[in-house]
Amino acid sequence: MKTFLEKNNLKILFVASEAGPFAKVGGLGEVMFSLPRSLRRLGHDARVMIPRYLSVDQEKFNLETVMEGLKVPAGGEHEPLICNVKLFNATDKDAPAPTYFLENEEYYEKRANIYGYSDDSVRWALLCRGALEFIKNSEWKPDVIVASDWQTGLIPNYMHTHYKNDAGLKNIAVLFSIHNLAFQGSFDHHFATEMDYDAGQAEIPSIYDPKLLKLNFMRRGVMYADVVNTVSPTYAQEITTPEFGELLHDLLAERRGILYGILNGVDYDEWNPATDNNLNFNFSHKTLTERDKNKAILQRKFNLPEDEQAFLVGIVSRLADQKGFDMLMACGDSLLNNFNIQMVVIGTGEGKYINFFEELRRRYPKKLGIHLSYDSILPRLVYGGADAMLIPSKYEPCGLTQMEAMRYGAVPIVRKTGGLADSVEDFDLQKNTGDGFVFENYDNYALFGTIIRAMEVNKRKAIWRKIQERAMKKDFSWDNSAREYAKILDRTIEFHARKAI
């Protein structure tokens, strides 16, 4: 029996809260740019749908109206909400995939930001139902919808209930994609009371019902999707355990048969040290002596002594509990006080970590450089000049920093969890294998010892060169990930078809 992929290319609609370059805050926006584009390069008709926020410039992106006066049911006896749909469509192979924008003046066009509103759950419920109503009324219909993270978790639920027998939608499969299980709704699921607990079985309330704000969109996405995937194979295993399952481990373990993990990729055209105009000296794995010159420039930029013998460790990260910096808080003084180690830190986030790095810099101004606000250029300079990148995450669904750093020859020092475990191989001196330094226990001594181990190996430049070369040669391109996604999407369609019989 031939699979769907052998018979035809797929029609895929990704629905998400953000997508680059139109509206991007984090990794989800990057995935929504790169993955659909790579699937199109493989011959699939992949498209994207997001809201049209105030920040999306319709003249800049030459948006055209493709549907006016779309009536999106609000639920109950309420009048439907009126939306329009606009389309970005470019033929250039390097352009973003065709992207639909759901317009609604109240919930999107009047909002300056993507996230951070008290009625975010309402906004995402509108996106979920608006996307389905658009498909219902559109000539183009996907074979499969990819609902991306908790914001679109109601799509599988709506498809299972409200649109179960709809002639235009009932044959469409749904993949629910988990990007970070820690976020499940516009509330902290750890502190939901018994009264507010959402088991996922009650009917979705109307958009105007306060109960909507208490729904666990993530749980409902996992419960009702034909297939569930997440952004690395190890994370797919981890989330079925109490340690990483964020109170959904039993449900995820129950759905283990349709749970998959595919490692995210990196755009190798954008992240290329041989062509990156932000670097003073471009290089490849064959010209790493050119890379060495960037180290001195990075040291100067952060007012650190130009010392080629210093072990320069970079940190490019959101400063949050997830990222493991509590371990560094316990051993940072010992590292900087006793060893020839320099650190460069770029990131923003929680106050206690910002305060920690600011205080550490006051104590070691010649050892630590910091830039504790968003910057799009500085990470590239760190990747291109630092000896190593420190990523000690408590958990990490996928992580892009380690892949970007490896592409630029900055050797990763990581904790063995999630996508970090799938992308970084621990250095083995006896076998002369590996492309990074990996520790397993969430323990400041383990972190401390691994940094020192990396520092000592760094002194043996010939061995370090081989580690850098192996890291730079590793293929994390989106084309590989897209091929794996195509297989899972094909499987999603098959599973849906079986359920319909």
- With a pLDDT cut of 70, the percent of the chain lying above it is 98
Are 372 and 454 part of one and the same domain?
Answer: yes
pLDDT value at 4 more than 80? no
Are 307 and 409 part of one and the same domain?
Answer: yes
In a domain, 55, yes or no: no
Q: ∠ at Cα 363 (360, 367), nearest 5°?
A: 75
pLDDT value at 6 more than 80? no
In a domain, 327, yes or no: yes
- 84: helix, strand or coil: strand
Give the model's pLDDT for residue 3: 41
Query: 434 is in which domain, residue-wise?
Result: 288-475
In a domain, 38, yes or no: yes
Residue 108 Cα to chain centre, angstroms: 22
Are 120 and 185 part of one and the same domain?
Answer: yes
Residue 303 Cα to chain centre, angstroms: 32
User: Cβ(10)–Cβ(173) under 8 Å?
Assistant: no
- 51: helix, strand or coil: strand
In a domain, 273, yes or no: no
Q: Which residues pair with 81 in a beta bridge?
A: 72
In a domain, 372, yes or no: yes
- 192: helix, strand or coil: coil
pLDDT band at 73 (very low <50, low <70, confident <90, very high): very high
The count of domains in the chain is 2
Are 346 and 490 part of one and the same domain?
Answer: no
Give the model's pLDDT for residue 192: 85
In a domain, 74, yes or no: no
Are 119 and 183 part of one and the same domain?
Answer: yes
Tell me the C-alpha to C-alpha distance, in Å, between residue 86 and each of 35, 44, 49, 102, 242.
21, 21, 10, 7, 43
User: Cβ(464)–Cβ(457) under 8 Å?
Assistant: yes
Mean pLDDT, residues 276-291: 97
Mean pLDDT of the chain: 95
- 64: helix, strand or coil: strand
pLDDT value at 30 more than 80? yes
Q: State the residue for tokens 């909507």.
A: 212
The candidate with the shortest Cα–Cα distance to 429, out of 468, 464, 470, is: 464
Are 314 and 433 part of one and the same domain?
Answer: yes
Mean pLDDT, residues 37-63: 96
Mean pLDDT, residues 386-390: 98
- Is 194 or 405 the better-scoring residue by pLDDT? 405
Instruction: Dump strand ranges (E) for 135-184.
Output: 144-148, 173-178
- 288: helix, strand or coil: helix
pLDDT band at 328 (very low <50, low <70, confident <90, very high): very high
Give the model's pLDDT for residue 195: 84
The candidate with the shortest Cα–Cα distance to 476, out of 428, 436, 430, 432, is: 436
pLDDT digits (tens, 9 = 90+) for 434-478: 999 999 999 999 999 999 999 999 999 999 999 999 999 999 999
Are 125 and 218 part of one and the same domain?
Answer: yes
Task: Copy the structure tokens of residue 47.
Answer: 């498209």
Give the model's pLDDT for residue 8: 63
21: preceding bond cis by omega (within 30 degrees): yes
User: Cβ(99)–Cβ(48) under 8 Å?
Assistant: yes
pLDDT value at 162 more than 60? yes
In a domain, 103, yes or no: no
Are 469 and 491 part of one and the same domain?
Answer: no
Are 464 and 396 part of one and the same domain?
Answer: yes
pLDDT digits (tens, 9 = 90+) for 344-355: 999 999 999 999
The CATH number given to whatever domain includes residue 446 is 3.40.50.2000
Are 493 and 413 part of one and the same domain?
Answer: no
User: Cβ(233)–Cβ(422) under 8 Å?
Assistant: yes
DSSP 347-365: --B-HHHHHHHHHHHHH-T
Cα–Cα distance for residue pair 465/289, rounded to 1 Å: 10
Mean pLDDT, residues 77-106: 94
Cα–Cα distance for residue pair 239/249, rounded to 1 Å: 6
Task: Copy the structure tokens of residue 335.
Answer: 């590292």
Are 435 and 493 part of one and the same domain?
Answer: no
User: Cβ(226)–Cβ(175) under 8 Å?
Assistant: yes
In a domain, 95, yes or no: no
Give the model's pLDDT for residue 350: 95
DSSP designation for 426: B
Cα–Cα distance for residue pair 377/412, rounded to 1 Å: 19
pLDDT band at 190 (very low <50, low <70, confident <90, very high): confident
Backbone angles phi, psi at 118, to 5 degrees: -65, -25
Q: How many CB atoms lie within 10 A of CB 339?
A: 15
Give the model's pLDDT for residue 172: 98
User: Cβ(225)–Cβ(176) under 8 Å?
Assistant: yes
Tell me the C-alpha to C-alpha distance, in Å, between residue 191 and each of 149, 151, 154, 196, 246.
20, 19, 21, 9, 12
pLDDT value at 7 more than 80? no
pLDDT value at 154 more than 70? yes
Cα–Cα distance for residue pair 403/422, rounded to 1 Å: 11
Cα–Cα distance for residue pair 279/384, rounded to 1 Å: 7
User: Cβ(81)–Cβ(108) under 8 Å?
Assistant: no
> Which own/partner pairs from 60-66 qualify as long-range (CB within 8 Å, at least 24 positions apart)?
61/22, 61/88, 62/88, 63/87, 63/88, 63/101, 64/89, 66/100, 66/138
Cα–Cα distance for residue pair 156/159, rounded to 1 Å: 5
Are 453 and 494 part of one and the same domain?
Answer: no
